[in-house]
Structure 1
């Protein structure tokens, strides 16, 4: 009987201890009041910022591809939208499909802002210069240009002064008094001793085709389209713009994003030594990096 009583007391003691340890007391092993707790000092946050940039295929999209892994290391996921014209990248930027674009120079941007009053764009800085060139299949030197030679220009008004300034530089035309060569038009030509026939009605993307087709013409081709057509501006151009050109290609965004950190980082990377070296080595003078 005494043994049974002792056994009963032992069982009662164990049951009591077990009941005292079920959920009413904090779990001291994790230092919480019954809840899981994370140490903020050891938690890592890997946030990624995504930006979408519009660009013409060559060289802009190719340059952006080189910048992509560098930006990824800084937590920026760069998405590239490629275009084959000069109109849609600004339209898509305005409509919010792009965070920025990279393809246009300052005169073209100013022309677009004047033509489309709804655009509220700003430049984040120049990245490179694409020296524009005058090409011909049959004419091998400026001295050999015959009279009445057709000159095919882009329909982009922003490029007209830039192209005509090359003809003035070579002594082929002169401008009327007071005309700024960078903003000149065909109507601003004063003297044209060879009676060159300027025609500014061509889609800029199609000019390389006319270079091949119109063998006796002079064709002004933007460097990005020349590269796509396997032309080497430094070797193939009859007349080539120099590195002193003020027509730097810009990264452009909406004014509300002017101070966006990711876009500012994009410009810094595009101006970095690594990307500048890529441009110099890959394009061999066809484009000239801008560091400021």
Structure 2
């Protein structure tokens, strides 16, 4: 009985020890598709000794501030141009640990079925943050609605429009709110994740959509200097697996595209 008791005690101790040794990794993410993809790999990380905690964020500011303030270890919601602009403006040392997927930006409308139908002097909503606002204008340039003086500049603004045949007016709106303003505008340029979350299929419902060549791959963002953190490396590796690639291709109908 004594030996059996000791064995049970040792087993309990080892079990406890394993749970204590498992590293907790807090990652901030937008609910769709980022948190969904992270949930897919949660068990894979647990098998590698990483206890993944997913923290949902619904805006584009808080997750970077939480990362800089060490409230989380990484975030997954943004592309590199946005991260670089945000970090530069606020003096934050944040970097990319790896590219995971692209969410093609699309032009959506509840009033018109094609870009040609959009009338003159119409109001078009675009994301209010500099990188996605520029990205929206570049998409409209590439689709022939406007002409920019330098479409290679990822941070173009309305002041960079040199031709606007339809005299369109642009209204910057916070990205998460764009689907909600659709009834009040002729069209809105919406990020893929927010379009999906609002029930749209970017491939089927968008009047125009970015191509797969888009440079705006969504990344795992971390604090500079932590690129070799063992848990971060494990996270990026499992996110770049065939399992994740197949999941993305099978579940988002082209609204999310693997970037690896």
TM-score by length of 1: 0.81
Structure-2 change in CA distance of 1:288 and 1:81 (3 Å): same
Find out whether 1:251 has 2:220 as its counterpart. Answer: yes
Which 4+ residue blocks in structure 1 deviate beyond 6 angstroms?
none
Q: How well do the aligned residues superpose, as a CA RMSD in angstroms?
A: 1.5
Find out whether 1:204 has 2:175 as its counterpart. Answer: yes
Kept in 1: contact 2:38–2:54 (CA 8 A)? yes
Kept in 1: contact 2:28–2:54 (CA 8 A)? yes
CA-CA distance at 1:180 after TM superposition = 2.7
Kept in 2: contact 1:122–1:254 (CA 8 A)? yes
TM-score by length of 2: 0.90
**What are the Cα deviations for residues 145-164 of structure 1, in whole angstroms up to 9, with x where unaligned?**
21111111111111122111
Instruction: Give SS of 1:257's match.
Output: coil
Q: Which residue in the other structure is 1:116 paired with?
A: 90
Q: Distance in 1 between matches of 2:145 and 2:198?
A: 27
Q: Distance in 2 between matches of 1:179 and 1:228?
A: 29
Structure-2 change in CA distance of 1:237 and 1:179 (3 Å): closer
CA-CA distance at 1:120 after TM superposition = 1.0
Segments of 5+ residues of structure 1 without an aligned counterpart are: 1-42
Q: Which residue in the other structure is 2:235 paired with?
A: 266
Instruction: Give SS of 1:256's match.
Output: coil
Kept in 2: contact 1:50–1:78 (CA 8 A)? yes
Equivalent residues, number: 244
Kept in 1: contact 2:26–2:55 (CA 8 A)? yes
CA-CA distance at 1:88 after TM superposition = 0.5
Task: Work out which of the two has the higher radius of gyration on C-alpha atoms and give 1 or 2.
Answer: 1
Find out whether 1:232 has 2:201 as its counterpart. Answer: yes
Q: Which one of 179, 195, 199 corresponds to residue 167 of structure 2?
A: 195
